[in-house]
Structures are given as C-alpha cells and as structure tokens.
Structure 1
Amino acid sequence: MRRRITLLVAATTSVVLLAFLLPASALVARVAEARALDAGRVQLQLLVPTVGLDAREEVVAGPLALSDGRRLAVRWSDGTWLGTVGVLGDDPAPAGAEQRETDEGTYLLQPVRREGGTAVLEVFVPAAELRAGVPGTRSVLAGLGLALLLLALLVADRVARSLTRPVTELATTAHRLSGGDLSARVTPSGPADVREVGAAVNRLAGRIGELLADEREAAADLAHRLRTPLTALRLDVEALPAADRERLAADVDALGRGVDEVIAEARRPVREGLGAGCDAAAVVAERVLFWAVLAEEERRPLTVDVPEGPFPVRVAGADLRAAVDAVLGNVFAHTPEGIGLHVAVRLREGGGAVVTVRDDGPGLPVAAVARGRSGSGSTGLGLDIARRTAEGSGGALRLASASGGTQVTLEFGAPPA
C-alpha cells in the first residue's frame, strides 16, 4: 500500500510538472527568438531615416557587421548592394516589412521608398542568437522539476508511512492471533476506518478467548461427570465372575484412559492452532521404537527409513504421536502375525513431511478403502484420527491397498514462517 501511494503521487506529480515545464520550455524558446528579432528590427528602424535622406556615405561609413553575429546589408534604389549581397538578391523589393527564415537564421527585410526608387534594408539574425540562453534556461527548468518531484516523493513516502503503519500493525496482530497468541491486541491508530477495524479485531480476539475457555470448561465438566458412572461400572465389573471380569475390566480401563485423555485435552491452556509444530522425524522414530517391541514379539520384519531431521511440520507433537500410533496400531490389529511392516519419512514438496506406513498383508477390502469416511466420522479402521490430523495441518491422507499389502501415506504441512 505504501508503495502504491508513492507511485500514485509520483505519477500525478510527473503529469503536473510536464504540463508546466513543456509549455514553459516552449515559451522560453519563443521569448529568446522574439528578443533577437526585436533587436534586429530596432537596428533596421535606426537606418531607415539615413537611407530615406539618401545619406549613402553615412551608410557606407557605418558598421555593416552588428553585435551577436548579426549582419547588415543595404540594396540601394539603383540595385547595388552595400555590404554582403543579401537573401533578396535581384528580386523585386517587398511591399512591406518581411521576414524570411533559412537554416542559417532569419532575414529581416525593410523597404524604404525614395524619389529614385525603393531601397531595401536587410538584417541577418543567426540561428545561434535566436536560441541564445535557451539550453541553460531549459536545464534550470529540468533541475527545478526534478527537485520538485523528489520533494513530492519524500512527502508522499512520509504520508504513506503514517497511513500504512497502523495497517501493518493490524496485520501483525492478526498473524499472532492466527498463530495461537490470543493475548495479541491492536493499539488503534491511524485513520478512523483503520481504528474501527483494530477495535473490531480486539473484540474478536477477546470473544475467541471466551469461546475457547467455555469449550474447555464444558469438555472438562463432561469428562468429570463421566468419572462417577465409570467408577460405578468398574465396581460392578469387580463383582462379576472371573471369566467375564478380566474382559470387561480391560474395556473399562480403555474407557477410563479415553476419559483421561479428554480431560487432559480440555486442560490445555491455549490451543496450538497454526503455531503448533514438531519434528516429524523425531516423533516417528520414537513411536517406531515403541512398536518395535511388539513387532519383535509377533515376529514381524520391521524396516525403518527415517533420515536425520529436522522435518518440521505444523502438528503438535502429541497429535502426531496419536496419528502414528493409530496407523501402526491398525496394522497390528488387522494383519496376521509375521506380516512385514515398512515405515518411512521424507520431505514433502513445498515444505512439511510425508510419513508412509506399508504392510505386506493381504490388503484391505475394496469397500473399506473406497469408504474413507463414514457418516459417523470414522473410517472403521482406526484411520480417522490420522486423517483429521493430516488435514488439519494442511496435508492429506492417502490409502492404497492391493493383494500385496496396504500403504497409508500421511502428508503434513509445514509450520508458518
């Protein structure tokens, strides 16, 4: 915006200066020419009485070469020339004062009627005298125009800076808010419209903070309310026979862990948002090391291709761990023991990372692969968590299955600069 304002002022000032300087330059040329021609005409008028009185000797005795390169010539009434033969030559005398222009300069002709005929006075004004002082004056005008243009640009830059500074501060605050810093606020300044936008952004930031706080409180209250029936359910399970008690106790424990995760998520002080980030290589290597124990127990060949990072992605570390665990857990849950497993991480074109998990199993049913999402928000294969995490970072999840195995590709976007 600042650059556009400066360019607009530069264009406007240039047009105004051209509208002033071009006519001024032409006027300077016309004034110089008129001054030189007027000097020649004065010289002619001074000689008219002398020629009219037939004072031929005085004309011959007078100077025929004037100042500034002008020349004087007189054709007497008998056709003889005093001085250099002029441009008129032997042509008839003009009826009145006349001006003839050539490449060398301008000739001023003045006829003088006498008893013996008509004499002609001729003054030659060279082209250099007609343009005397014009280049210097035009240089002064050009310098003045350039100085005015620079002054206008300087003033425009100062004014544009005062106008754009509040907008820049407003954009900076908006970026901080999008990055998860809900404490960012704008100091309203500048024009009235910009101040109004700044105040609106401040109100929006406050409202977002209130909504997030209400959301966290509601989720925490709901999770705590589940604790009581969950405890009663655990007590009822303890009273069951041993055959059913172990199976149901495991389910109750899994439900309890889910409730604990909801409470932990609700107690996050600030949502990471666009500012979340972690090293994908480090997180994937950590989770592969965790699952490697189970892979060894089930005699699954495990191939890992995780180069040294960092591979920064726009995902919180806890969310990326949950996504990787969901994909790896899906392999262990839906493929027979002994099936090989391949995990790889590479850079994503344009920034971010790509995590690939491939198994050597029989492949998923075609309907399961095509389904991708269900109306309930789950794929039915434990991949919905991974999909939502990838899409939330600006990436995607791709699932490919064939008789030779299933490959899950997670693309994660790069964190903001």
Structure 2
Amino acid sequence: MRQRVVRVALTAALVAVVLLAVPLALVIRSSLYADQRDTLERAALSGAVRVSPDYSTGDPVELAAPPAGGRLGVYDPQSRLRAGSGPRTGDAAVRRALEAEVVRSHSGGDLVVTVPVSHAEHVIGAVRASSPAAAVRNRVLAAWAVLAGACALALAVAVLIARRQARRLAAPLEALSRHSQAVTAGNLGARAAPSSIAEIDQVARTHNEMLHSLTELLRHERDFTANASHQLRTPLTGLQLTLEAGLGRDDDAGKRDALAEALATTRRLHGTIEEVLRLSRSRGLTHSAAPDTRVPRLLQEIEERWHGPLARDGRRLECEIYDAPGDVRVPGTPVSEILGVLVDNARVHGRGTVRLGVRDLNDALAFDVGDEGIVQGEVARLFDRGHTGDGRGTGIGLALARDLAVSLGGRLSLSSGHPATFTLLVPVRQDGIEEDDEATAGSG
C-alpha cells in the first residue's frame, strides 16, 4: 500500500509539474526574447534620433554604444553602412526599414531590429541593431535549468510527503492486520487501537464490535455447555440411582414408585434444560416468562428433591416460611434452579443442617439458604465463573445462579460468611397464573 500511495502522489505531482512547468518554460522563453528585442529597438531608436539629415554629405554620426555583445549601424537609402557596425550592405530587414517600417527579425544567427530614419516626411536612412541569438538562448536555457531544478525539488518534496503520508495511512492498517492475525491465533481479547484517521477508525470500531459479538457468542455457548453439564449432573445421578433401585425391587408397587420418581426427575430435567436454554438465548438480560408457582409449593418441591441426597450424606434439610403470604407467586422454574444450586452448594461445600427460609420484604421475597459451614476463599470472587473457594467443584453453580437471578430482575448475594448464608431477592407477583399442577388439572 505504501508504494501505491507514493506512486499515486508522485504521478499527481508530476502531472501538476508538467502542466505548470511547460507553459511557464514557454513564457520564459518568449519573455526573454521579447526583452532582448525591446532592448535592441530602444538602442535603434536612440541611434535614429542622433542621425543628422546631413550625414549623407559627410557629417559624422555620433551613435550611442551598441547593446552588450551586439552591433549598431546606420544605413543610407542605398543600404550601405555609413556609420557604426554591421553588415556593409544592408540585409532584408534594412531594406524593409527603408520602406518606413519597423522590423524585428532573425538574420544570420542574430536578433535584428531596424527602424527608419525620417526627415521632412522622407526616409533618409535606417538604423540597424543586432545581437547574437545564442546569448538569449543561453539565458533561456539557464532559466529553464533553474525551472527544472525547482520542479525536481518539488517532486522530491512530494515524494517525501507522500512517503510520510503513506506511513501514516499504512500504519493503522498494518496494526489492524497484526490484530487480526492475533485473533486468528486465538487471542480473542485483542482489540484494534484507534488512529487519527476517521475512516480507518470506523473500520477498527466495526471490527472490534464484530469481534466482541463473536466473543460474547462463543462465551455464551461455552457457558451454556458448562451450565447444562453442571445442572444435569446431579439429577441424572439421582435418576440413575432411582432406576437401579426400582429394578432391584420385586413388587410392582415399588417399581411403580420408582418409575413415578424417575418421571418426576425427568420432568425436572426438562425444566432445567428449558431454563438454561432460556438464559442462553436471553443472555441474562430479560425477565423470565416461566409459569408462576406459589411459595409453599416451591419449598415442597425443593424438599422433595433434595431431602434424599442430603439424607444419604447424613444431613438434614429444613424449609420454613417466616412471614410470607401463601398466595405470593414467583417464577417457578428459575427460582427452583437457583435454590437447587444453593442447596447443592451447601451440600458439597458446607456441613451440618441446610436451612431454607423465606422472608417477606413487601415488594420482594428473600430466600435465605444457609448451613453450618464457613465460606472459604476470596469472597469478592465467589460468583466468578470457574472460581472455587475450597478447590472442589467446577465454579459454575453460583455464577449460573447469579445470572438466573439477574434474569428475574432479582439479586443473589452472600449475606453471611459464618455461618455460610446466601440470600436470593425475587420480585413478587400476587396476580399471576395458577400453579403448574392446578393449570394441568384444569385443562384435563
């Protein structure tokens, strides 16, 4: 690109120089020749004034000095040189001057100007002034040499400026190319730096916006995979254990109970997948459109879901509604997923009894999930994806729960480090739709 910019600038400068220099050279040549002829004419007129009417009878003519390097002479009507210097016999220019005409011409490599000498309305002679044309030609060539030098200097300056501008134009594009190569090599955090050129800056901004969109898309795809894997791991394990237990029973009633529990787990898995998909599509920025569920029913589902896993670890789960009205509804599936993440977090990282309490805050409900353990690690990074305080787990659960809470217009925070307690704030709705099971029963 740099060479192309230099070539374009040099071509433009060369065209401008040619368009300017050629007419200027012609003007210089014409002006110098015209000046020399004017000088010769002035010398001839000055000599004509000094010619006496009696010069033909022997009265001497006192001519002024001829032009530098030239000659000045007086000719009688018979074209004979009577005074001064010049050809002994007048040439065509002298003969034309004797016919009462001022003549400017070339003769024998000289510039010649002849003027008639008049007396009593009669031409009594002619004055001829001449100078070598080579002298004027040398002056023209010298002026043209100066002009050519000025043109060469102008072209050199144009090349320097063009190269400087080419570097200025090419530098941000080369930087953008290096940035693209870095992105190709896997550095998705690279961003094109701004320059002082508006058009290139626009390209860089568009490139950065495109890269940001692609990076966000890849991040959400990775988050979706991690979220789905995290949320499905425990239910799938429970489903496997339930089916294995059902296969080990001989009575039909036990198998039916196992199948019913497996079916309920499958429904929860379906809801989990739908919620993770919704969060991935909405990028955590829109409120959930999940069916509303009354708080008592929600806590009952949480207890049924997590009583077994905690009991197998020799731990208890206590659920209690302190002062929340029974008709208050919250988005069932996302809130259930968030509370499931918090209970599972307490199961894996905590100890002792896990307590889930609900408090009424007028325009919101506070769900407190705590245990008898202590929060380990950096509290400020507790909700960072991939961060685990005690080295166990994937560091995905709390980050997912926080994103789900934001998607509801709520908030998830650590309210106490000892004992470890997390608080979920959820906006409430008292005019929502009926519970899922009631809606299903009504439609049946």
TM-score for the superposition, normalised by structure 1? 0.48
Whichever of the two has the greater Rg, that structure is 2
